A and B are shown apart, each in its own frame.
Chain A
């Protein structure tokens, strides 16, 4: 324990005295204070707030992610290159503690800088503001829907022969991917309903949704929501995110929408509709968002330490930045890449690599604390706990063990 503390202390002193911390704080301060002066929102106070939260804290997070990842690759690799690491290795110290202590120091620096940015954001926006739990409609899972559609698809004589010959797992994956974008149409004068769990007896709930039409142009939306005893009137345009307050106590579990306008409306139930149930305030949500971001930083830092333990510094930095770029791009590529291009061998290889990276970086990319924070959606404690256990404890511990193994296998 003493040696773990000593390694942590040495790395922290190194980061402090090499002015890394000062540079990070200065860059973060410059970004946090400068951003509101050149950011142009949509003209509304809500839009400006959303933009500030997303991009100011997001900018600091991006600075920290890149710089701490790069710095972490040198924590072991540079020490080894300067031959200082051998003086630590010949002491009765666990190599796991060496990797863990170095990672902890980098995470502490990241946490400190991010805390500074969060305090600036809190001072800028004030402690007022709400945050809501977002309830999604109860539906079959995307996998279940894909399996059901697969059977229907294969039984359909019009399904192309090439699709019937394709591997079942590939078709199921594509169908599951598309299930999230499955549209539901509500004809003019008709109604639709969705079941929600967990909103019984809640007052001050609201519905947040976004309608589309079959055309890209905006059209009028007019309708009415009922949710148990609560009611809300919708009057807006398609493509806009609409929040409809429900007056009265919600209950009954079924949300019904009656389309009173002249146009047919469409929405994706899995993505476009949610019942917002008031939770706690903005500061608490900011704290949860902050802790989620620190957890993500911890995973990135541990990965950097591991790369530095296994590779030389230049190769480790190159690999880290490549994985970061691929990890950033891969969800979009996996989501957007047209599947018919998979018939080309090169595309198949590229997509396989991208999908693999997306799967591996999902613990980082799937948590979206800033997106939720900026939309006043609650970063749930359960989600935070999951991210913390995975990104702050479990994966860093595995990476520290791998780093220790890499250090022990090296010649000095």
Chain B
């Protein structure tokens, strides 16, 4: 049996306008494999195709060419989705629900019965440190608190694969450290994690393996332990130093 949880083969994504004319080639012939139990980092500058790749893996976008498989099946299949947890780049919570109701709602969508959903919600709220505000509406939460609720709702169905899009975005340093510890703990329990991040230090701390995307193509990848330099140096060597931005010229 293959050990690959996610398999992308020759994946291309071309966005088109209303008249179906191609506008952007966001992903260009990408091959990717995420293995069971590893923490895989998808890195790259803005517009490199990370989010598009994640959305194709989740079945939220259809690839123009190539194949995407999750657990050996289509990402749109119920079986694949029942083993998945997803934290989007922004939390996108229902503002009129309380934190507890939010978790119970998503637990219900994962077919957990009422009692189990309630217990699971309480456990997760405890885990993300929101037990004290469990019955407050999330519309009034800070960005960091919303992020924790979103992370808890990604975990509510006890997924085998966790997809985290910029998980530390909007979190203070303490919360960031907690999220990183949580990811490590989940990985230690055998959960597979796919994570995207702009913060190379975060990726370096938690990832076993990375892939760097630029202009929709894979430009480098490998095990963190085998890079031979810091991730930041490796990244700048492969992607460039961002000279296009000409910040120094502007400031001068």
Interface residues, chain A, CB within 8 Å of chain B?
Answer: 2-3, 5-7, 9-10, 13-14, 17-18, 82-84, 86-94, 408, 411-412
Contact = CB atoms under 8 A, between A and B. Distances in A.
Given A90-B59, A91-B81, A13 B88 contact: no
Contact of A10 (B81, B82, B105, B110): B105
A412 B109 contact: no
A253 B59 CA distance: 67
A100 to B, nearest CB: 14
B92 A84 contact: yes
A91 B96 contact: no
A92 B62 CA distance: 18
8 contacts: A6-B105, A14-B96, A18-B96, A84-B94, A91-B106, A91-B109, A92-B78, A92-B82
Contacts of B88: 83, 86-87
Given A18-B96, A83-B88, A84-B94, A89 B110 contact: no
Given A3-B111, A10-B94, A83-B92, A90 B58 contact: yes
B61 interface: yes
Contacts of A14: 94, 96
A2 B157 CA distance: 14
B186 interface: no
Given A87-B86, A87-B106, A92 B111 contact: yes
Given A2-B113, A411-B61, A412-B61, A86 B92 contact: yes
Among A3, A91, A411, which residue has the most Cβ atoms of chain B within 10 A? Answer: A91
Interface residues of B, number: 31
B216 to A, nearest CB: 16
Nearest to B75: A90
Given A10-B94, A408-B76, A412-B60, A90 B108 contact: no
B60 to A, nearest CB: 4
Interface string B108-133: 11111100000000000000000000
B140 to A, nearest CB: 13
A83 B91 CA distance: 9
A63 to B, nearest CB: 23
A93 B78 CA distance: 7
B110 A91 contact: yes
A136 to B, nearest CB: 51
Interface string B72-100: 00001011011010101010111011000
Interface of B: 55, 58-62, 76, 78-79, 81-82, 84, 86, 88, 90, 92-94, 96-97, 101, 105-106, 108-113, 153, 157
Contacts of A17: 96
Contacts of A92: 78-79, 81-82, 109-111, 157
A93 B109 contact: yes
Contacts of A88: 109
B92 A9 contact: no
A101 to B, nearest CB: 11
A145 B6 CA distance: 69
A18 B96 CA distance: 8
A127 to B, nearest CB: 40
A218 to B, nearest CB: 60
A97 to B, nearest CB: 9
Contacts of B82: 92
A13 B106 CA distance: 15
Nearest to B52: A411
Nearest to B109: A91
Contacts of B62: 411
Contacts of A89: 59-60
A91 B117 CA distance: 15
Contacts of B60: 86, 89-90, 411-412
B225 to A, nearest CB: 32
A189 to B, nearest CB: 74
A88 B58 CA distance: 12
A84 to B, nearest CB: 5
Contact of B92 (A2, A6, A87, A408): A87
B84 A90 contact: yes
Nearest to B15: A411
A94 B76 CA distance: 11
Nearest to B156: A91
A189 B88 CA distance: 86
Contacts of A94: 78
A13 B111 contact: no
A6 B109 contact: yes
A5 B94 contact: no
A307 to B, nearest CB: 19
Nearest to B101: A13
Given A18-B96, A92-B157, A93-B81, 14 more contacts: A2-B111, A6-B105, A6-B109, A9-B105, A10-B94, A13-B96, A17-B96, A87-B86, A90-B86, A91-B110, A92-B81, A92-B111, A411-B60, A412-B61
Given A90-B81, A93-B109, A82 B97 contact: no
Given A84-B94, A87-B88, A5 B110 contact: no
B146 to A, nearest CB: 12
Contacts of B111: 2-3, 92
B34 to A, nearest CB: 16
A412 B55 contact: yes
Contact of A6 (B59, B61, B79, B108): B108
A392 B70 CA distance: 38
Contacts of A84: 92-94
The 5 closest A-B pairs by CB, nearest first: A6-B108, A92-B82, A412-B60, A91-B109, A17-B96
A91 to B, nearest CB: 4
Contacts of A10: 94, 97, 105
